[in-house]
Structure 1
C-alpha cells in the first residue's frame, strides 16, 4: 500500500540520522551546564518565591533534574550501544523521558522534602504545568542546542540501502533509496530513475511490475497507476484535477498526477 506524502516524509524525518553525543566527558559537561543554569535561576531569580527555604534545599530541585538527565544519559548510551546509530526519533524519545522523569522527581521533592507532606498524585499535572513545564520551555532548547553542537553523526553503512529485484534473476539493483527519483512502469518492465555519482541522472530497466517494486520500496509514494515518486524530491503540483503534473527537484520532465491522488497530494503539499 502506497504511503501518503505526509506519512512518507514524517517516517523519513524520524528515521533520519541525528547528531549524538558519545563521549562521556562531553555528556558530563552538558549536565554540569544544565545544573548550573537551573540552579542560577532558582537561587537568584527566584521565579517561584523560594526565598524562605534554605539555599541548600533549593538546590535539591536542580539535583532532581540532574538525576533525571543522568538516567537519560545511561539509557541513550545503552540504546546507542545496540543500534550503533542515532535518529531524530531516538533523540525525541530521550527528551520525553527527561521531561517525565524531571516532572516526577521535582514534584516528589517539593512535596516530601520542601513541604514535608505525604506523596500524592492528585496535584501532579497542575504542579507540572506551573513549575516543570516553564523550566522545560526555557531549558530544553538550550539542552537541544548543546547536544546538537557537541554531537556527531553516526550512520550505519547500509542504513538506507535497498535491493530491488526483478523477475529475471540477473535484474538486481542495489542502492541508496534516497537517490531514487521515481519508478515508472513500461509494458512488462519498470524504469528506475536515480541520481548516480557526480549528480548524473541514470535509468535502470527491470523486468517487473510496478506493484512488485512498490513492495520493495515502501518509502516511495504512488501518484499515478504508472508512477511511484520519491516524496523527498517533490516540489510542486501544476495544473488542475483534470490534468495535473508533479515537479521533482533535479528533474526536468513532468510526472503525471492522476485524479485519484490529486486532492491528497495537493493538500499535503500546500
Structure 2
C-alpha cells in the first residue's frame, strides 16, 4: 500500500512548470493527428492548426493551478506529499478534460448547445483513453524537475520557543515539548520513537503511529531516511560516500543514515552554511 503522506519532490519553479505544460500539451495534438479519434480524418480548413489548439487546453489549467499548489506547498512548510500530488493530478486533470470538451465542442465541431451528459460522455469516450499516456508522462516530468527543499537553519528564538504537541493513536500517547527540544525520531514497524532534550537530558517516548503522522505534528522535523526524522537545527555533518552516508547531529553520539534523495536536498543547505559536507 502506498503511503500517501510520504514526502516527494515538488516542481516549484514556474520555468519548469511551463516546460512541463508545453511538453505534455504537445503530446495531445500529436496523438490526435496520429490516431485521428473523433472523425479527424475528415478534411476541414486549417485542420492541423485547429488540432494544435488542444495544447492550450492543457497549458492553461497547469499554469492556472500552479499558484494554488505553490500556496499549499508553502503552507506545508515547503513539503509535498503523495496525497498532494494525487489531488493535484485529479483536479487539474478534470479541469483539462473540461477545457478540452469546450474547445472540441465549440471550435472543432462548431456546435452551439450542450448538456452535462455530453461532457461526461466526452470525458469517458475521448478523455479517459488518453490518460494512460498523458498521466505517466506528466508525473515523470514533475518528478524529474521537482526537488525536495531543506530550509536553512532557523534563526531567532521565536520559532525555537514555540511549543508543539505530539499525539499517537492512543489518547494516552501525548507529548508537549518546544520545537527546539526535538532531536530525532525513528520508526520501527508500527511504532515511532521520539527523542527529545529537556535541560540537557535525553528522553524517549514511544508512539503507536507512522513516521509521516509524527512529521506532520513537528514543523521542525525533516525526513532524511524512510525510518528517520531529525531536527535540522541540530545537524552538524553529513559523512560517508556515494554508497553509504550518515548524519551526525548534536546531543547524541549515534549516527543516522541518510538516503540519496535526501542527501541531494541537503547539499544546498550545507553549502550555504558553516556546516560541513564530506564525500
Question: TM-score normalised by the shorter chain: which range applies?
Answer: 0.5 to 0.7
Structure 1 residue aligned with 2:107: 113
Return closer, same or farther for 1:193/1:31 CA change in 2, 3 Å cut-off: closer
Give the aligned length. Answer: 187
Q: Identify unmatched segments of 5+ residues in structure 1.
A: 1-8, 185-191, 197-202, 221-231, 234-270
Structure 1 residue aligned with 2:246: none
Q: Identify unmatched segments of 5+ residues in structure 2.
A: 155-163, 168-172, 197-201, 215-225, 228-279
- The 3-state SS of whatever aligns with 1:17 is coil
- The 3-state SS of whatever aligns with 2:4 is helix
Partners of 1:68 and 1:102 within 8 A in 2: yes
Larger Rg: 1
Q: Which of 7, 13, 17 is 1:27 aligned to?
A: 17
- Following TM superposition, the consecutive aligned residue runs of length 4 or more in structure 1 with deviations greater than 6 angstroms are 164-167
RMSD over aligned Cα atoms: 4.0
Higher RCO (Cα < 8 Å, 6 or more apart): 1
- How far the C-alpha of 1:132 sits from its partner, in A, is 0.8
Q: How far, CA to CA, are the matches of 1:37 and 1:183 in structure 2?
A: 43
Q: Is 1:174 aligned to 2:192, yes or no?
A: no
- How far the C-alpha of 1:182 sits from its partner, in A, is 7.5
- The 3-state SS of whatever aligns with 2:105 is helix
Q: How far, CA to CA, are the matches of 1:41 and 1:214 in structure 2?
A: 50
1:5-16 correspondence to structure 2 within 5 Å: 13-16=3-6
- The 3-state SS of whatever aligns with 1:144 is helix
Structure 1 residue aligned with 2:149: 154
Structure 2 residue aligned with 1:132: 127
Structure 2 residue aligned with 1:98: 92
Structure with the higher helix share, 1 or 2: 1
- The 3-state SS of whatever aligns with 1:99 is helix
Question: Given the two structures, how large is their TM-score scaled by the length of structure 1?
Answer: 0.56
